[in-house]
Amino acid sequence: MRPVRTAFAGALLGTLVLAGCGQSGGTSASSSAPPAAPSSAAPTSADAGFPVTVEAANGKVTIAEKPKRIVSLSATHTETLFAIGAGPQVVAVDDRSNYPPEAPKTALSGFKPNVEAIVAQKPDLVIVSDDLDKVVAELGKLNVPVLHQPAATNLDEAYEEITEIGAATGNGAKAGEVVSGMRAALDKLAAEAPKDGKLSYYHELDQTPYAATSKTFIGQVYAMFGLTNIADEAPDAAGGYPKLSAEFVAQADPDLIFLADVKCCQQSKETLAARPGWKNLSAIKNDRVVQLDDDLASRWGPRVVQLAESIGASVAAASKAGSN
């Protein structure tokens, strides 16, 4: 068996977005006998490299054979599974997993996990990003292998999780290609970014408004482009996700505003302008309010490259306008 190292990290990004937008997930329940324990028979050629041991947030997880019935309770990890070629092995994903379209979406919930409903899928591997309601331990009692891969707090942790999921599913080579492609694309974007340090920004998680500091995963993506984060100076910035007052944002007057609450909370330049003291903000007057894709802005999988491309394009346009 070969050990694979994992990152043990947690973040509030997805949780805050869901809480702020008042979203909730349903569950389904059905009866089924627990699946049999993985066979200890010698692996076939299709199972070359197994058994494999992955050291995840829930400890060392040994997977005897290449999984054929994977259940994902994380939208990010669903995206990863399909990106690394494990899609045909996935039999069910949670109700938040909306990408890719062909993912077998169900009523399963990662936020309100129903063990009976999960076991009904007869999984030989379950992947979660949150251990809510002790779902990891409960599935463990039924001999269901579970990988707990928490929200990454930086890009290196995101790369590690993709690599580990590749190893756990028998798709290590493709996972390595995905990580290499991500690194190359993000390095290129960072190298091409104007870094004059003059532009400030506000990233809105939800309309409450919660923000994200430079210490968070999303904040580190912005840092690639040399931007100054106004949330770093918030009174309760230490936790990474401060709730800002309207007065704080108005006084900071950011050059750019990025909205990650477009789908969930229908926020736009117009709704921002209607907030007390915001209509004269530089970002609003200069049409520098950027509506991000909520999903891209709250996940840490392979599509973070698309998020960075969107941010980079907006920074380049703002920098160009400022130099004219």
Domain boundaries, the chain: 3-182, 194-323
pLDDT in the model for residue 46 = 54
Q: With contact defined as beta carbons under 8 Å apart, do 53 and 2 qualify?
A: yes
Residue 254 has pLDDT above 60, yes or no: yes
For residue 323, pLDDT over 70 is answered with no
* 212 Cα distance to chain centroid: 14
Q: How far apart are CA 225 and CA 196, in angstroms?
A: 9
Tokens of 30: 């059905």
Backbone φ, ψ for residue 163 (5° rounding): -60, -45
Nearby residues of 289 by Cβ (< 8 Å), 6 or more positions away: 256, 257, 259, 268, 269, 272, 283
Half-sphere exposure of 108 (CA within 13 A, CB side): 30
SS3 labels along 94-113: CCCCCCCCCCCECCCCCCCC
For position 320, what pLDDT does the model report? Answer: 79
pLDDT of residue 174: 98
Domains 3-182 and 194-323 share a fold: yes
pLDDT band for position 41 (cuts 50, 70, 90): very low
123-142 pLDDT, tens digit per residue, is 999 999 999 999 999 999 99
The backbone torsions φ and ψ at residue 224, rounded to the nearest 5 degrees and listed phi first, read -60, -25
CA-CA distance, 259 to 263, in Å (whole number)? Answer: 10
Contact 67, 157 (CB under 8 A): no
Higher-pLDDT residue of 20 and 218 is: 218
- What's the pLDDT band for 197 if we cut at 50, 70, 90? low
Q: In the chain, how long is the greatest CA-to-CA distance?
A: 69
Supply 118's token pair: 């999960």
Please determine, for residue 36, whether its predicted confidence score (pLDDT) is greater than 50.
no
Distance CA 16, CA 203 (A): 13
pLDDT band of residue 319 (cuts 50, 70, 90) is confident
Mean pLDDT of 225-232: 96
Provide the sign of the torsion angle of the four alpha carbons 318, 319, 320, 324, taken in this order: positive
Q: What is the pLDDT of residue 281?
A: 97
Asked whether 291 and 236 are in contact (CB, 8 A), the reply is: no
Residue with tokens 């007869």: 122
Q: Tally the residues of the chain.
A: 324
**Mean local confidence (pLDDT), 104-115:** 97
Per-residue pLDDT, 321 = 74
Integer Cα distance of 90 and 79 in angstroms: 11
Helix axes 172-192, 304-323, angle to 10 degrees: 10
CATH code at 194-323: 3.40.50.1980
Scanning the structure block, which residue is given the tokens 């909306």? 98
| pLDDT for the residue numbered 230 | 98
Given this model, what pLDDT does residue 49 score?
Answer: 87
Percent of the chain with pLDDT over 90: 81
CB atoms within 10 A of CB 183: 14
CATH level 3 topology of 3-182: Rossmann fold (3.40.50)
Q: Mean pLDDT, the chain, as a whole number?
A: 87
